[in-house]
Amino acid sequence: MSYYNYAERVLSQNGYKLTIPRMIVLGLLESSDVSQNAYDMARKITSSGKTVDTVSIYRTLALLKELGLIHEMSEGKFIACQKFDCKDSSHCHHQFVCKSCRKIEEIHVDDRFFVKKIAKIFPKLLIDSHSFKFEGFCEKCK
């Protein structure tokens, strides 16, 4: 199943319609292996001859994030979850970012024990999520 089809199914299961702005944003996310912010997406949409206002893009990104269909990277940029078909919720999807081509790959790591260890070190905190970004050079760029 493609990312687009999976996202369409998740939206429908959660009572959301697949509007034209959502279809366009999902298409952009599916076709990109680099992170993008709403303004990057708006420029690409405009250059393709379509029109979606930036507010609609932001709303769509917020919804997709809430549904776990995208990951927020640094600087307010987003990327489609590459492991959308993963049914194992016992780990997080960490990202590797190539310093040269900016391609992003997801890394599956079972980090339940890491989170438990951090929670023991900081017992007054309630940690409910975390993220890691690894940087280096991909196979093509190294």
pLDDT, tens only, 89-142? 544 667 788 899 888 887 777 777 787 888 889 999 887 767 778 889 989 998
Residue 103 neighbours by CB distance under 10 Å = 16
Q: Please report where in the chains the tokens 């303004």 appear, as a residue.
A: 39
Q: What strand order describes the sheet that includes 104-109?
A: 104-109, 92-98, 133-136
**Domains of the chain, residue spans:** 3-80, 92-136
Q: What is the largest CA-CA distance in the chain?
A: 53
pLDDT, tens only, 12-46? 999 999 999 999 999 999 998 888 999 999 999 99
Which CATH number is associated with domain 3-80?
A: 1.10.10.10
Q: If you classify domain 92-136 with CATH, what class do you get?
A: alpha beta
d(CA 130, CA 119): 12
Q: Please report where in the chains the tokens 């489609």 appear, as a residue.
A: 80
